[in-house]
A and B are shown apart, each in its own frame.
Chain A
Amino acid sequence: MTTLTLQSVGVRLDHVTKRFSGGVIAVNDVNFSVPAGQLVTLLGPSGCGKTTTLRLIAGLEQADGGTLCIGERDVTNLPPHERGIGMVFQSYALFPHLSVFENIAYGLRLQKHTNAEIRESVEMVLHLMNLVGLDQRMPNQLSGGQQQRVALARALVLKPRALLLDEPLSNLDAKLRVQMRTEIRRLQRRLGITAVYVTHDQSEAMSLSDLVVVMNQGRVEQIGAPIQIYGTPASVFVADFIGRANFIETKIIAVENNRASISVLGRTLSVSCSSDFRAGDEVYAVLRPEVIRLSEGDGLARGEVRQATYLGSFVEYEIETGNQTLIVLDYEPWAGRIFAEGSQVAIVFREENVHLLRGK
């Protein structure tokens, strides 16, 4: 059995813009590049332009401005069938009038292969995607997971230079979704395929990506590895959209050696910051809920438990302290105790876990 060998290339977007009739700017001056062989997710809320961006890469929409390169080739003005990409659609878009075999062979037949070659290639991807024996089924005789595999097989068999996936898992149930996402990641790594993956599900983006492109209102908010996106979000939007966060409004007292002195919950803290912060700047101190610990002893501040919700693997607290309400997630409820609503607690966190963002 031959295996699939792909010639993956990078994808680059330079100042790409797309306007829809009615004046809506769906994609606004977007720049990013996808290194060859890596998986990049486009993440954002619905209507942020991520799907339009993907469709621009595919050529299903035509850009109004900017350039789009797949590999070294400028494809901005090429129709989709000349771009050499593969795409997996949210609805899978399997042709209902064609069998699994013919669905997969569809693109191969266009490339004028011999029947023997086509059979060989189709069987190879059927094998790759665990679909052996299903080739004569019609799409409506397959389960959701199988349809998903056929959609992937159909895209991969053409040895695309880049693979585009438009929320491919959103029609699967929760368990299958996790399973398929692991499978997609393993396959993508093994084949070394360049992939652009659209999702609104942050855990999907976190678990899959080499790089995450966070989009909002047609613009790129931040590009980075999952750990950067989560740990050092570039904007309030990103901090708020990815995971959960407590935002504490404050002012920078002084800046020295890329460390800012700020006053948080009545204490003065020294936290690291980028070089463009100045004394007097209005900032948010961002605290992820799981970096805060509650204790009965001493802490940076004290607060009152307003609400405690037990969720099995963790406990979610709402802590009132001064004029601020903090969300705290305790992932080790078995290690300590669960604090009752109404009880007084100490709030503990480390300075290096505070991330500064520019205020409004």
Chain B
Amino acid sequence: MPQLFSRWRRVDLWLICAVGLGILFVLLFIIYPLFQVISISVYSEGQFTLNPWQEMLALRNWWVPLWNTILLATIVGVTSTLTGFIFAYAMQRVALPFKGFLRALAILPIITPPFLLGLAAILLFGRNGLVTAGLFGVRTSAVFGLPGLVLTQTLSEMPVAFLVLAGMLGSLDTSLEEASATMGASPRHTFFRVIWPLMRPGLANSFLLAFISSVADFGNPMVIGGDYSVLSTAIYLRITGLYDHPGAAVLSVVLLAPSLIAFYLQSQWVGKRSYVTVTGKSSGRSRPWNDKLISGGATFVVILWAVTTILLYGSILVGSFANVWGVDYTLTLKHYLFIENLGLEPYVNSLILAVVSAPLTALMGLLMAYIFVRRPFPGRWLLEFGAMLSFAVPGTIIGVGYILAFNAPPLVLTGTATIIVISFIFRNMPVGIRAGIAALSQIDPSLEEASAVMGARLPTTLRRVVVPLIIPAIFSGLVFSFVRAITAISAVIFLVSPRWKLVTPAILAEINQGRFGVAAAYSTIVVATMITAILIAYRVSRQMGTTLELQA
């Protein structure tokens, strides 16, 4: 084992501390809460029991939320992947005007709380909806339930699908399409026989990502789910309505299954099957001869999507100024004044905690990434497993786990800002890790060696070579942990307290009380904040000579 020893001799104290700390955090804030959830579902007053499970199975229609969750996730997986693919194809192969604007519009659902789309769907298609009641004079609640959920989740998952598929389409060797054409294939034939089959792994990947996201979504089912019960909301209602912790734990374990299966497929199966061939030639150019039906169809879908998105976000903006939505559209500031009277505390809290957690998340992610990329050591799988779990496990389960784990000694954290920050850090850590890994694997070790050979000591090498190279990626990790902290809802809804209110649960509460104007005003403030933050981030990253890496 001389190899191992010589490697270990170089490992410094700092690294041992880092690894130890990493393992401790993962155990404490990811594994332990999950363990609590699972154990409370089979363990009561010191003994093993299946009572909570039997109670659940005794319920009539106990399987409905599970079935509903999987049905919805499957539909949304397909619809968002298809629209994402069409959008990616249109952006890269069809001559479209306003591409920059469309791209920016596509990012909106990523940087705003997803359930704002649910609120907007109510404003447009609900009982007093602008389209349903206003335009067609129909008073209907049809949007509540599966149709509304499919609409809102498709729109909020589409950007992720778009980013995944655009990346893949962009790295597809265009000479494959050209070869097809020179062999006599029409653009349509090429589309269906070359592009489509080559994109299949990417399509599967995007389907699974959307599936995982839909299963974990809590905000939209709360807002627009109506009678369509899904697991995440069922768990929430079981805790807040019935104080039935074991029952919620049972449902959480049930929810864990589809999430983990989809995640396993996504990381193990799809990730390793890819035809993508990377060439130096850029392909983001429209073709001189394209199929009119395909490019026309893609353009139509993109326009339809853009109009819908603008209408939805626009209705929130207008709704925040309308006196009584659906009845009296006189402009008024009363909703904003109402918020001011109520206090801007939740908004300010969200900002503060997001600002506090973002650098910690980025740091934690960088630490993990450094360990993964540069220092293989025994037991690394545990860290990777933990980090993976924090991505795969729906926030609702993490929320339940946190209130179970940190409500009693030794660690009483419920009701504090600390636990919210911790949940932000461990929920968003995958973003930081991805940014860190991307940054570190860009740095060829020979750069550090070259610096050393030229006489630089390690601190100088880090300061002059490593840090300047990784700052852009760290920065984008920072920006997106901030964004995700502000827009988070599923885990933090369990963790907010009268002392520490956050803006997303506050908006949700206003919606549930039917105060759509106030909810819209709150939402407008959040959207404006996020747009401003992203614009500043773009500006800053441009000054650093890089572009902000979009992460979904």
- Which chain A residues have a beta carbon within 8 Å of chain B's beta carbons? 55, 58-62, 79-87, 89-91, 93-97, 106-107, 110-111, 154-155, 158, 164
- Residues from chain B with a CB closer than 8 A to the CB of A97 are 197-198, 275
* Minimal Cβ-Cβ distance residue in B for A89: B175
- Residues from chain A with a CB closer than 8 A to the CB of B180 are 95, 106
- Tell whether, in the assembled complex, residue B181 and residue A80 are in contact, meaning their CB atoms are under 8 Å apart: yes
Interface size on B, residues (CB 8 A): 23
Q: Which of B183-191, B389-397, B410-418 contacts A (4 or more CB under 8 A)?
A: B183-191
- Residues from chain B with a CB closer than 8 A to the CB of A96 are 198, 275, 277
Smallest beta-carbon distance A157→chain B, Å: 9
Smallest beta-carbon distance B94→chain A, Å: 16
Smallest beta-carbon distance B100→chain A, Å: 16
- Residues from chain B with a CB closer than 8 A to the CB of A95 are 176, 179-180, 194, 198
Could you say which of B275, B279, B289 contacts A59, with CB atoms under 8 Å apart?
Answer: B289
- Tell whether, in the assembled complex, residue A93 and residue B183 are in contact, meaning their CB atoms are under 8 Å apart: no
With the chains together, A309 CA to B288 CA distance in Å? 52
- Residues from chain A with a CB closer than 8 A to the CB of B194 are 95
* Minimal Cβ-Cβ distance residue in B for A20: B285
- Tell whether, in the assembled complex, residue B181 and residue A59 are in contact, meaning their CB atoms are under 8 Å apart: yes
- Known contacts A60-B288, A91-B175, A97-B197; decide if A85 and B182 are in contact (CB<8 Å): yes
- Residues from chain B with a CB closer than 8 A to the CB of A80 are 178, 181-182, 289
- Residues from chain A with a CB closer than 8 A to the CB of B178 are 55, 58, 60, 80, 87, 89, 93
Smallest beta-carbon distance B194→chain A, Å: 6
- Residues from chain B with a CB closer than 8 A to the CB of A110 are 183-185, 189
- Residues from chain B with a CB closer than 8 A to the CB of A86 are 182-183
- Known contacts A60-B288, A87-B179; decide if A93 and B173 are in contact (CB<8 Å): yes
With the chains together, A86 CA to B173 CA distance in Å? 18
Please provide the chain B residues from 183 to 234 with a CB less than 8 Å away from any CB of chain A in the complex: 183-187, 189, 193-194, 197-198
- Residues from chain B with a CB closer than 8 A to the CB of A111 are 184
- Tell whether, in the assembled complex, residue A90 and residue B182 are in contact, meaning their CB atoms are under 8 Å apart: no
* Minimal Cβ-Cβ distance residue in B for A90: B175
- Tell whether, in the assembled complex, residue A79 and residue B275 are in contact, meaning their CB atoms are under 8 Å apart: no
- Residues from chain B with a CB closer than 8 A to the CB of A155 are 182-183
* Minimal Cβ-Cβ distance residue in B for A151: B179
- Tell whether, in the assembled complex, residue B279 and residue A79 are in contact, meaning their CB atoms are under 8 Å apart: no
- Known contacts A91-B279, A96-B198, A97-B275; decide if A81 and B179 are in contact (CB<8 Å): no
Q: Mark B151-191, 1 if CB is under 8 A from A, else 0.
A: 00000000000000000000001011011111111110100
* Minimal Cβ-Cβ distance residue in A for B177: A93
* Minimal Cβ-Cβ distance residue in A for B275: A96
- Tell whether, in the assembled complex, residue A81 and residue B176 are in contact, meaning their CB atoms are under 8 Å apart: no
- Residues from chain A with a CB closer than 8 A to the CB of B275 are 96-97
- Tell whether, in the assembled complex, residue A106 and residue B183 are in contact, meaning their CB atoms are under 8 Å apart: yes
* Minimal Cβ-Cβ distance residue in A for B178: A60
* Minimal Cβ-Cβ distance residue in B for A78: B289
* Minimal Cβ-Cβ distance residue in A for B288: A62
- Residues from chain A with a CB closer than 8 A to the CB of B181 are 58-60, 79-81
- Tell whether, in the assembled complex, residue B176 and residue A107 are in contact, meaning their CB atoms are under 8 Å apart: no
- Residues from chain A with a CB closer than 8 A to the CB of B288 are 59-62, 79
With the chains together, A111 CA to B194 CA distance in Å? 17
* Minimal Cβ-Cβ distance residue in B for A61: B288
- Residues from chain B with a CB closer than 8 A to the CB of A85 are 182
Q: Other than the known A59-B182, A60-B182, A86-B182, what 10 A-B pairs have Cβ atoms closer than 8 Å?
A: A81-B182, A81-B184, A81-B186, A84-B184, A91-B277, A106-B193, A110-B185, A111-B184, A155-B182, A158-B184
Smallest beta-carbon distance B185→chain A, Å: 6
- Known contacts A87-B178, A87-B179, A91-B175; decide if A106 and B198 are in contact (CB<8 Å): no
With the chains together, A133 CA to B179 CA distance in Å? 24
Smallest beta-carbon distance A269→chain B, Å: 49
* Minimal Cβ-Cβ distance residue in A for B200: A97
With the chains together, A22 CA to B537 CA distance in Å? 29
Smallest beta-carbon distance A129→chain B, Å: 16
A-B contact pairs, 21 of them (CB 8 A): A58-B181, A60-B181, A60-B288, A62-B288, A62-B289, A79-B186, A81-B182, A82-B184, A91-B277, A93-B173, A93-B176, A93-B178, A94-B179, A95-B176, A95-B194, A106-B180, A110-B183, A110-B184, A111-B184, A155-B182, A164-B182
Could you say which of B175, B184, B185, B187 contacts A93, with CB atoms under 8 Å apart?
Answer: B175
Please provide the chain B residues from 304 to 322 with a CB less than 8 Å away from any CB of chain A in the complex: none
* Minimal Cβ-Cβ distance residue in A for B186: A81
Among all A-B residue pairs, the 8 with the closest Cβ atoms: A107-B183, A79-B289, A93-B179, A80-B181, A93-B175, A87-B182, A62-B288, A89-B175
Smallest beta-carbon distance A6→chain B, Å: 15
With the chains together, A194 CA to B186 CA distance in Å? 24
Smallest beta-carbon distance B49→chain A, Å: 52
Smallest beta-carbon distance B187→chain A, Å: 8
With the chains together, A107 CA to B184 CA distance in Å? 6
**Residue among A80, A83, A107, A155 facing the most chain B CB atoms (10 A cut-off):** A80
* Minimal Cβ-Cβ distance residue in A for B190: A81
- Residues from chain A with a CB closer than 8 A to the CB of B184 are 81-82, 84, 107, 110-111, 158
- Residues from chain A with a CB closer than 8 A to the CB of B277 are 91, 96
- Residues from chain B with a CB closer than 8 A to the CB of A87 are 178-179, 182
- Tell whether, in the assembled complex, residue B185 and residue A106 are in contact, meaning their CB atoms are under 8 Å apart: yes
With the chains together, A81 CA to B187 CA distance in Å? 8
With the chains together, A243 CA to B269 CA distance in Å? 53
Please provide the chain B residues from 273 to 295 with a CB less than 8 Å away from any CB of chain A in the complex: 275, 277, 279, 288-289
- Residues from chain A with a CB closer than 8 A to the CB of B173 are 91, 93
With the chains together, A332 CA to B308 CA distance in Å? 79
- Residues from chain B with a CB closer than 8 A to the CB of A61 are 288
Please provide the chain B residues from 401 to 415 with a CB less than 8 Å away from any CB of chain A in the complex: none
**Residue among B184, B185, B197 facing the most chain A CB atoms (10 A cut-off):** B184
With the chains together, A115 CA to B334 CA distance in Å? 74
With the chains together, A59 CA to B288 CA distance in Å? 9
Smallest beta-carbon distance A86→chain B, Å: 7
With the chains together, A61 CA to B180 CA distance in Å? 15
- Residues from chain A with a CB closer than 8 A to the CB of B183 are 81, 86, 106-107, 110, 154-155, 158
- Tell whether, in the assembled complex, residue A81 and residue B198 are in contact, meaning their CB atoms are under 8 Å apart: no
Smallest beta-carbon distance A276→chain B, Å: 41
* Minimal Cβ-Cβ distance residue in A for B193: A106
Smallest beta-carbon distance A96→chain B, Å: 5
* Minimal Cβ-Cβ distance residue in B for A157: B183
Smallest beta-carbon distance A179→chain B, Å: 24
